[in-house]
Structure 1
Amino acid sequence: MKTIKHPPVASRRSALLGAAALGLAALAAPAAWAQAAWPSKPVTLLVGYPPGGQTDFAGRVLLASLGSALGQPVIIDNKAGVNGNLAAADVMKAPADGHRLLVGNGSMTIAAHVYTTLGIVDPRQLTPIGVMLQSALVLAVPATSPYKTYAEFAEHAKAKSRNGQGIDYGTGGVGALTHVTMELLRERLGNVKMNHVPYKGSSPAMTDLIAGRLDAMFDATSVIAPFIKSGQLRPLLVTSDKRVPAFPDVPTAAEAGLKDFTVISFIGLYGPPGLSADIVKKANTALNAALKDPAVTKGILDRGDEPGGGTAEQLGTLTRSHYKTWGDVVKANNIRAD
């Protein structure tokens, strides 16, 4: 009978340890594969506003292309309330698995300053993924207004203030981007008197502006474009560094004589706190791919907005910058919504 020589004890121990390691690796593999397979089910985009607005549009215009890029359906869940905070709060508490994301806008950077008792989400705690779209604001007056240029508007605003009156301006609500932008302009005009008339949304405010019951109003290019094109409103300036393709004849703030007055409305895709770098990278790559879809690009440009894109870090920087800027404006003007 042939004698079987066993390996030394040390060699057998090494062999057993190696087998155990292979077994553990096999057990760990499914977890790694599951993580690599994100998304493993439909992805929900939370929108903190009703259907039809700019933020809702940003999500819907990307649905098909984003779903194609991710390999899973993408659905919208409108959870309106408190200037978008209900949706933001939902995503703050969501599992960090990337299946519930937030379509958030720049108003999030303001809400944390103007709502002091409602537990408003600090947008800096969310995980930035990428900019979806952005747009300038337009300062507009009724077509029947005597103000033909920004210079005339500024002089009339100062004159009315000296007489103790002040112009009437509308917004979609206290603490909206359009509100703090007009307050910033009021500061730049020497803290002139202005009368803020808040509405429950920009649509009713726009109706009164067109009717001449308001003197002026800021709003996003995509919101205000139809009324400018129809001749119901007159644009005085745009708040971007360069002219807006939708309004090539409308001067920038700098061209109109208002220096260092750049205000951009942005909408970004955010995840819950703790979202892994791997998921952020995959989501950002899919978002950038969707934004290059010609149909998506055309849909965004046709409304007067501009496609976003870029890195997650760029959205994070934009969020922090706006949070600081508007926090200072809110504090200086004692703006409160509760």
Structure 2
Amino acid sequence: MARERLSVVVTRRLPEPVETRLSELFDVQLRGNDTPMSRQELAAAMKAADVLVPTVTDTIDAALLGQAGDKLKLIANYGAGVDHIDVATARQRGILVSNTPGVLTDDTADMAMALIMAVVRRIPEGLAVMQKGDWQGWAPTAMLGGRLAGRRLGILGMGQIGQAVARRARAFGMQIHYHNRRRLRPEIESDLEATYWESLDQMVARMDVISVNCPSTPSTFHLLNARRLKLMKPSAVVVNTSRGEVIDEHALTRMLRSNEIAGAGLDVYEKGTSINPRLRELPNVVLLPHMGSATLEGRIEMGEKVLLNIKTFEDGHRPPDQVVPAML
């Protein structure tokens, strides 16, 4: 006798190969359009499904989990970050949480380097001149940016993504520095030719470029606050491909406007899609719409991890990418 298939609800449109495979394996409800579910829709989905497949755009807090039915047993998050899910409350209610770690390391590191180059070499400013038809020809002092080689890069968060950024930056001749909760093993530090700073303040004050690559946790909220941003050299730039809440966005905007910081490249924002309009007006800022993980290959691999987590759970085993509160 065939086993009844798991009921799975997906909150956003996923790449077609992922949706097709989900349909083949499970009793799946796919999203008809690519808008985020409302809170009411999420509550209904959590009552109806054995498994919910949300994304970073779905806030699943304690109140919403309180509305979940007894049927829901797994939240198989499509993405590595789980700060939008109350993992502790889910655990208390007997709901497992899984994610998709390690898939987007190279994609995000590529984007961090792209932002560093875009800001330091003033690429968007040059693009704007060409699009407006204002270019008057080459001049010795026009559009002068900076050379990456020899610059000190301070990486805030030296996990897999931070290390991938370090390897790329070394190829451009940058000097690697980092601050992390734990110091890297000596052999990794030696391989990356990285200098460890126990004091974030001391590192920030000496760097030419700061790359934010740490996760969003209560301890990293506004880690780059107004006081710490003021320690940066006026010639320094900051890029963020991690989580917007790590930087005090209003303080950053004020300092960029007053030329206390030379530039910024941001792929994430403190308040999601609500971006400070003054930040958008600045010529020394490169803003991207959360594109760090936006490669087709990466998004399909994320889906494959979701599928594996659900299938393993269905077979009665612990999902390989289960997240527990102690990990956060």
Smaller-chain TM-score range? 0.3 to 0.5
Q: Which has the higher helix share?
A: 1
| TM-score, normalising length: structure 2 | 0.33
Q: Which has the higher contact order (CA 8 A, sep 6+)?
A: 1
Q: Which has the higher strand share?
A: 1
